């Protein structure tokens, strides 16, 4: 997911979650729980006889305020396209509220809860995943479980091969958010300038040392920056299995010591000597275009091709991943507890999961975001939509993307961000 920035928090808010997750912390168990509960909830919804037609009827005429990160014109245009479609097909009008930080939306919902606004909330649907989802779920600020798995297009979602569609950063979604797209950390380089880009952390460090000032990473708590920290941590931590569990405060400093040793050595050779960091992936891409950076990060394997198509990156840029794989996850849409247009939001969420919307989204000249669907299992006419896509010169095929590394437990993110900020902003 492109830059839905995460935020650091004090550990005390993690306590409740930690207690809750102690039981369900093993990924396998969590997944089983997610699937089970989604099936159960789904049938419960059907049992209430809220069939889809009823939802569609209620949704007609509703206004859905869709709060979505608005920093990427291509994505905004895609959302406008989808909004026009649902307006024409279902009479639901979707208005994108462009937010610079999904954290804003979460705090807005919290604020409304505080002010006692149980209905008529200002957020009807929100683009979300990871820590923001965990925070809302924990506080009970989402629509009741099961709605997402009751959507007609859920049937086509590739639950089997893409476990993250139901397990958001190790937290079971329980049908409280509908998967929208897939993300995997990829690197973009200009092949005209750098022929053989660094493919391991060691190469990255030596590349920066040879050619100082040309490598950087987005500043945590930016989503992508934190992902980079996690990527490094996964590669360097002594006991990788610890990452699947909540942070152990007692050993945290020791666990992350290799990460910070790596960063301490890397920073003097970074862009601006590590005194300034790019703020997000869009800025990184712009800096790559400007020739200031040799490497840009993205969570969207189609990003580089889209940028070539829009003329904002030269045609010589290419995408690649690290040997040994990179982090990947799924991004979702969720309905808050007090949404004023729950049915309309469901209709839109369902449309976003449709083959038509997913194929259009994967087109690099549109957005280039990979699908959550099981394309192979789609009916022929819908599969054809995907087969017709020209993924562009700089997009890796699913095989070339290599191994997807699972996200660590969300508690790691906030702790890492805090430790990073402490270390590099106080110095």
Partner 1 sequence: MTLRTGKFWVVLPWVVLGLIQLVPLAAGAIGLVLPLAVSPASGPLAPGFSGQGQASAVQLLLAQPGLSKSVWLSLTTGLFATALAFAVVVLLLAGWIGTRTLGMLRRCLGPFLALPHAAAAIGLTFLLTPSGLIFRALSPWATGLDRAPDLTIVQDPAGLSLMLALTAKEIPFLLLMALAALPQTRCEDYLRTAQSLGYGRFKAFICLGLPDLYPHLRLPILAVLAFAASNVDMATILGPTLPASLSVRIVAWMNDPAADLRTAAAAGAGLQGLICAVCILLWLAGERVASTAVKAIAVDGARGRADRVWKVVGLSLTWALFALLSGAIVSIALWSVARGWFFPDLLPGSWTLGSWRKVLLQDTGPLVTTVVLAALSSGLALLLVIWILETMSRRQLHNGLAPRESSALRAMMFFPLILPQVSLLLGIHVWFLILRADGTFFGVLFAHLIFVLPYVYLSMAGPWYRLEPNLLRNAQSLGLSDSHSFLQIKLPMLLRPLLTAFAIGFAVSVAQYLPSLMIGAGRWPTLTTESVALASGGARRPAAVYALLLMVLPACVFILATLIPAAAFRHRRGMRHSR
Show contacts with partner 1 in window 285-344 (CB under 8 A). Answer: 285-287, 289-292, 310-312, 314
Separation of alpha carbons 177 and 135, rounded Å: 13
Among 124, 168, 280, 407, binds partner 1 (CB under 8 A): 280
Interaction of residue 391 with partner 1, rule CB under 8 A: no
Alpha-carbon distances, residue 344 vs 61, 215, 283, 327 (angstroms): 8, 44, 34, 33
Binding of partner 1 by 72 (CB under 8 A): yes
By beta-carbon proximity to partner 1, the closer residue of 214 and 242 is 214
Q: Which helix (H) or strand (E) holds 184?
A: strand 177-184
Q: Report the candidate in 141, 167, 1 with the shortest Cα–Cα distance to residue 69.
A: 1
For partner 1, the binding residue among 136, 157, 327, 335 (CB under 8 A) is: 136
Subset of residues 13 to 32 that bind partner 1, contact rule: CB under 8 A: 13, 15-16
CB of 186 to partner 1, least distance (A): 17
Specify burial of residue 227 (Cβ count, 10 A radius: 0-12, 13-18, 19+): buried
Torsion of CA 232, 236, 242, 248, to 10 degrees: -80
Query: Does the footprint of partner 1 cover residue 352 (CB under 8 A)?
Result: no
Minimum distance from residue 90 beta carbon to partner 1 (Å): 21
In the structure encoding, which two tokens stand for residue 203, read together?
A: 């190469």
Tokens of 276: 């300034």
Q: Which of 26, 40, 44, 97 binds partner 1 (CB under 8 A)?
A: 97
The SS3 of residue 370 is coil
Beta strand 93-99 pairing with 63-69: parallel
Site for partner 1 in 196-215 (CB under 8 A): 212-214
Residue 35 or residue 92: which is nearer to partner 1 going by CB? 92
Structural tokens at position 375: 């394309």
Among 283, 319, 329, 371, binds partner 1 (CB under 8 A): 283
Estimate the crossing angle of helix 223-236 against helix 201-210, to 10 degrees. 110
106 binds partner 1 (CB under 8 A): yes
Interface with partner 1 in residues 212-251 (CB under 8 A): 212-214, 219
Q: Any contact of residue 355 with partner 1 (CB under 8 A)?
A: no
* Least distance in angstroms from the C-beta of 73 to partner 1: 5
Supply 44's token pair.
Answer: 């419960």
Distance CA 272, CA 270 (A): 6
Per CB under 8 A, the list member of 58, 93, 104, 191 interacting with partner 1 is: 104
386 contacts 371 by C-beta, under 8 angstroms = yes
Report if residue 426 touches partner 1, rule: CB under 8 A: yes
Q: Which of 28, 61, 73, 324 binds partner 1 (CB under 8 A)?
A: 73
DSSP conformation letters of 207-259: HHHHSTTS---PPTTSHHHHHHHHHHHHHH-S-GGGGGS---HHHHHHHHHHH
Residue 279 or 374: the one with the smaller Cβ distance to partner 1 is 279
Among residues 282, 327, 375, 413, which is the contact residue for partner 1, using CB under 8 A? 282
Region binding partner 1 by CB under 8 A among candidate stretches 113-121, 181-189, 368-376, 397-405: 113-121
How far is it, in rounded angstroms, from Cα 324 to Cα 246? 24
99 binds partner 1 (CB under 8 A): yes
DSSP annotation string for 36-64: HHHHHHHHHHHHTT--HHHHHHHHTT-EE
Among 41, 124, 131, 373, binds partner 1 (CB under 8 A): 131
Q: With binding defined as CB under 8 A, does residue 93 bind partner 1?
A: no
- Find the shortest distance in angstroms from Cβ 68 to partner 1: 10
| Tokens, residue 179 | 């998967």
Among 71, 146, 368, 370, binds partner 1 (CB under 8 A): 71
State which of residues 25, 50, 58, 76 lies at the interface with partner 1 (CB under 8 A): 76
Q: Which is nearer to partner 1, 123 or 385 (CB)?
A: 123
The residues facing 320 across adjacent strands are: 187
Candidates 29-37, 65-73, 177-185, 201-209; binding stretch for partner 1 (CB under 8 A) = 65-73
Using the minimum distance from each CB to partner 1, give the nearer residue, 89 or 422. 422
# binding residues, partner 1 (CB under 8 A): 79
327, containing H or E segment: strand 326-334
Contacts of 330 (CB under 8 A, 6+ apart): 1, 129, 162, 164, 165, 168, 179, 180, 181, 182, 183, 372
- Applying CB under 8 A, does 271 fall inside the site for partner 1? yes
CB of 285 to partner 1, least distance (A): 6
Could you say which of 32, 275, 377, 384 contacts partner 1 (CB under 8 A)?
275
Q: Establish if 112 lies at the interface with partner 1 (CB under 8 A).
A: yes
């Amino acid at each position: 997911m492109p830059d839905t920035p995460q935020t650091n928090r004090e550990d005390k808010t993690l306590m409740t979650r930690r207690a809750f997750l102690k039981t369900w912390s093993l990924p396998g168990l969590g997944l089983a729980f997610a699937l089970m509960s989604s099936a159960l909830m789904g049938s419960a919804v059907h049992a209430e006889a809220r069939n889809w037609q009823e939802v569609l009827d209620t949704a007609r005429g509703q206004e859905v305020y869709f709060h979505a990160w608005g920093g990427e014109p291509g994505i905004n245009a895609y959302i406008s396209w989808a909004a026009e479609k649902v307006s024409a097909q279902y009479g639901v009008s979707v208005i994108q509220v462009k937010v610079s930080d999904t954290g804003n939306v979460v705090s807005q919902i919290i604020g409304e809860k505080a002010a006692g606004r149980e209905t008529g909330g200002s957020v009807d649907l929100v683009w979300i995943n990871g820590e923001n989802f965990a925070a809302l779920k924990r506080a009970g600020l989402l629509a009741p479980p099961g709605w997402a798995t009751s959507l007609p297009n859920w049937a086509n979602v590739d639950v089997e091969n893409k476990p993250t569609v139901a397990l958001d950063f190790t937290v079971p979604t329980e049908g409280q958010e509908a998967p929208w797209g897939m993300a995997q950390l990829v690197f973009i380089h200009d092949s005209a300038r750098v022929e053989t880009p660094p493919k391991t952390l060691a190469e990255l460090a030596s590349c920066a040392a040879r050619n100082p000032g040309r490598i950087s990473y987005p500043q945590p708590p930016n989503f992508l920056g934190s992902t980079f920290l996690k990527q490094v941590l996964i590669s360097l931590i002594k006991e990788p299995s610890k990452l699947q569990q909540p942070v152990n405060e007692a050993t945290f400093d020791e666990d992350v010591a290799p990460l910070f040793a790596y960063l301490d050595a890397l920073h003097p050779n970074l862009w601006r000597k590590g005194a300034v960091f790019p703020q997000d992936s869009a800025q990184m891409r712009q800096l790559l275009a400007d020739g200031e950076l040799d490497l840009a990060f993205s969570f969207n394997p189609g990003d580089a091709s889209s940028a070539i198509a829009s003329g904002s990156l030269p045609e010589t840029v290419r995408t690649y991943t690290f040997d040994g794989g990179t982090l990947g996850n799924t991004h979702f849409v969720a309905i808050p507890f007090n949404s004023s247009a729950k049915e309309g939001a469901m209709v839109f969420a369902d449309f976003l999961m449709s083959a038509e919307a997913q194929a259009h989204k994967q087109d690099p000249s549109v957005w280039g975001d990979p699908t959550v669907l099981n394309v192979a299992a789609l009916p022929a006419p819908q599969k054809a939509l995907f087969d017709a896509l020209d993924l562009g010169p700089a997009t890796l095929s699913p095989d070339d993307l290599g191994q997807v590394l699972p996200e660590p437990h969300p508690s790691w993110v906030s702790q890492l961000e805090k430790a990073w900020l402490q270390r590099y902003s106080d110095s």
